[in-house]
């Protein structure tokens, strides 16, 4: 049952706009419920810019990073994949993003909870003027038993109650803004409080006009000394293509070499063979994100040890993804970029590939760089991490940048 508090009195007063706030809410809710279900037809690119702050007498920016995913909705649950992957991964989003704060709900989960779930209470909060237009503002509360807002605490996801407000255009009945504030958090949540503000806009996709989130801003107070801010933007929204799929057990890379063309093959690479690589495209810290696809060219033939047998020819292309793009300001100023490759291609052959590039140990020590991630297992060994000391606000790793790697045992 949906409980509507304070709306009967508001209906009697009606307010300056002359519309009945209770009627506007009910009509808007019906449209928003349909909109939430309609979101399952679409997929958007989600770019998350994260900023980390040190709290004290003054708040100081500690570091920033960026992550890019594709997001869709199925049965009220947000699904994510890496950009360009052929499958959506139905596991938790932090199975893809292994570092830093993550949240779900911005794309469609909040809509499903606030406007579809029983037990939600609403209250009319008055009329606001936004950019010259009258907006009806409402407050709401979602109890824990109706909530789809989940917090990992510490290893299991647990539902949490939340509340907030939203603005409805009484003429178009469109949702313009939604705010979310956490209530009492489950024990072991790892942070004190969180609040989210979502902005919505009308987007033309194909033959339809749909209202989709344009931006979401999440603020998290972790403890007395740390806080974080995630600004998420949505772009490149489109309808599902016929080849899109949902996978409940796909690897986190989301790659399907066979689906990308070329023959599927396998080259058995011994551990420890040196591989020299040159980037094929630049990496610009101002725009690059973890999740972006990346490619490099093999500079020299990769030969079996103590043999002339060529296992990978010069000119072969290795492909993978950026794993981290970070800008650190405290205590030292530097950029960190991590890359992982998972396949190699030449002459129509596509083979699994794994390799590691060791970071500059002296520079790591000098910068007091934090290379640790919330990751374990062999799969996370196959990464190259690169550091650049600079006082500039951005840096570009040029195309042709050369790096030295050594082979690992590749998965299937």
**Which position has the token pair 């790793």?**
397
Average of per-residue pLDDT across 32-55 = 89
User: How far is residue 327's CA from residue 62's CA, in Å, rounded to a whole number?
Assistant: 9
Domain boundaries, the chain: 3-247, 257-407
8 Å CB contact between 200 and 213? yes
Instruction: Look at residues 132, 224, 223, 145 and name the one whose alpha carbon lies nearest to residue 183.
Output: 145
Spell out the residues 6+ positions from residue 77 whose beta carbon is closer than 8 angstroms to its own: 90, 109, 148
User: How far is residue 90's CA from residue 334's CA, in Å, rounded to a whole number?
Assistant: 35
End-to-end CA distance of the chain: 50
Q: What is the DSSP letter of 403?
A: E
**Which position has the token pair 């009910």?**
26
| pLDDT of res. 314 | 98
Percent of the chain with pLDDT over 70: 82
The predicted-structure confidence for 91-130, as pLDDT tens digits, reads as follows 556 667 767 777 777 888 888 889 988 899 999 999 999 9
8 Å CB contact between 221 and 249? no
**Which position has the token pair 């009319």?**
124
Reported as a pLDDT band with limits 50, 70 and 90, residue 8 is: very low
Q: What is the DSSP letter of 363?
A: H
Average of per-residue pLDDT across 278-296 = 98
8 Å CB contact between 78 and 87? no
At residue 291, what are phi and psi to the nearest 5 degrees? 110, -25
The β-bridge relationship of strands 317-328 and 226-239 is unpaired
User: How far is residue 314's CA from residue 296's CA, in Å, rounded to a whole number?
Assistant: 11
8 Å CB contact between 88 and 241? no
> Rounded to the nearest 5 degrees, what angle is found at the Cα of 374, between the Cα atoms of 194 and 71?
60
The predicted-structure confidence for 177-234, as pLDDT tens digits, reads as follows 999 998 767 666 777 888 999 999 888 887 777 788 889 999 988 888 899 999 999 9
8 Å CB contact between 178 and 166? yes
**Which position has the token pair 């409940």?**
248
CATH no., domain 257-407: 2.40.128
Spell out the residues 6+ positions from residue 338 whose beta carbon is closer than 8 angstroms to its own: 290, 322, 323, 324, 383, 384, 385, 386
8 Å CB contact between 346 and 80? no
Global pTM reads 0.86
At residue 85, what are phi and psi to the nearest 5 degrees? -70, 155
**Which position has the token pair 């292309």?**
317
Give the tokens for residue 168.
């409805």
Helices (H), 209-266: none
Spell out the residues 6+ positions from residue 7 whose beta carbon is closer than 8 angstroms to its own: 21, 22, 25, 122, 123, 124
Mean confidence (pLDDT) of the chain: 84
| pLDDT of res. 154 | 57
Reported as a pLDDT band with limits 50, 70 and 90, residue 258 is: very low
Average of per-residue pLDDT across 320-344 = 96
| pLDDT of res. 246 | 38
Reported as a pLDDT band with limits 50, 70 and 90, residue 14 is: low
Spell out the residues 6+ positions from residue 176 whose beta carbon is closer than 8 angstroms to its own: 130, 135, 167, 168, 169, 199, 200
HSE, CB side, 13 Å, CA atoms: give it for residue 288.
25
User: How far is residue 82's CA from residue 254's CA, in Å, rounded to a whole number?
Assistant: 6
Cα 143 from chain centroid (whole Å)? 26
Q: When comparing pLDDT for 355 and 211, which is higher?
A: 355
| pLDDT of res. 380 | 62
| pLDDT of res. 158 | 74
Q: Hey, how many other C-beta atoms are within 10 angstroms of the C-beta on 242?
A: 5
Whether residue 347 is predicted with pLDDT greater than 70 in this model: the reply is yes
């Amino acid at each position: 049952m949906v409980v509507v508090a304070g709306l009967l009195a508001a209906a009697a007063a009606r307010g300056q706009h002359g519309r009945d706030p209770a009627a506007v809410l009910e009509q808007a809710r019906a449209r928003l419920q349909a909109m939430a279900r309609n979101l399952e037809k679409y997929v958007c690119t989600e770019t998350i810019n994260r900023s980390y702050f040190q709290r004290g007498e003054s708040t100081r920016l500690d570091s920033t990073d960026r992550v890019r995913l594709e997001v869709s909705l199925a049965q009220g649950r947000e699904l994510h994949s890496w950009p360009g992957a052929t499958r959506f991964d139905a596991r938790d989003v932090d199975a893809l993003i292994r570092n830093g704060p993550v949240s779900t709900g911005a794309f469609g989960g909040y809509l499903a909870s606030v406007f579809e779930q029983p037990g939600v209470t609403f209250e009319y909060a008055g009329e606001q003027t936004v950019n010259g237009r009258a907006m009806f503002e409402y407050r709401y509360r979602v109890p824990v038993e109706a909530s789809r807002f989940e917090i990992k605490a510490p290893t299991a996801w647990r539902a949490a109650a939340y509340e907030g407000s939203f603005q409805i255009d009484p003429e178009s009945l469109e949702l313009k803004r939604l705010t979310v504030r956490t209530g009492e958090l489950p024990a072991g949540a790892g942070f004190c409080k969180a609040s989210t503000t979502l902005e919505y806009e009308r987007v033309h996709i194909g033959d339809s006009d749909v209202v989709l989130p344009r931006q979401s801003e999440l603020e998290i107070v972790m403890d007395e000394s740390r806080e974080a801010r995630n600004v998420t933007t949505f772009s490149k929204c489109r309808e599902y293509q016929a080849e899109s799929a949902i996978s409940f057990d796909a690897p986190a890379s989301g790659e399907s070499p066979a689906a990308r063309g070329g023959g599927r093959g396998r080259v058995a690479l011994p551990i420890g063979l040196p591989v020299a690589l040159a980037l094929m495209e630049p990496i610009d810290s101002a725009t690059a994100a973890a999740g972006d696809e990346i490619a490099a060219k093999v500079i020299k033939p990769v030969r079996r040890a103590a043999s002339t047998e060529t296992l990978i020819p010069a000119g072969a292309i290795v492909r993978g993804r950026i794993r981290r793009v970070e800008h650190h300001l405290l205590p030292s100023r530097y950029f960190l970029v991590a890359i992982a490759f998972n396949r190699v291609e030449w002459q129509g052959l596509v083979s699994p590939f794994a390799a590691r590039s060791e970071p500059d140990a002296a520079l790591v020590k000098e910068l007091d760089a934090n290379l640790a991630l919330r990751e374990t297992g062999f799969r996370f060994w196959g990464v190259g991490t690169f550091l650049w000391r600079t006082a500039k606000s951005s840096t570009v790793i040029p195309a042709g940048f050369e790096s030295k790697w050594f082979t690992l045992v590749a998965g299937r």
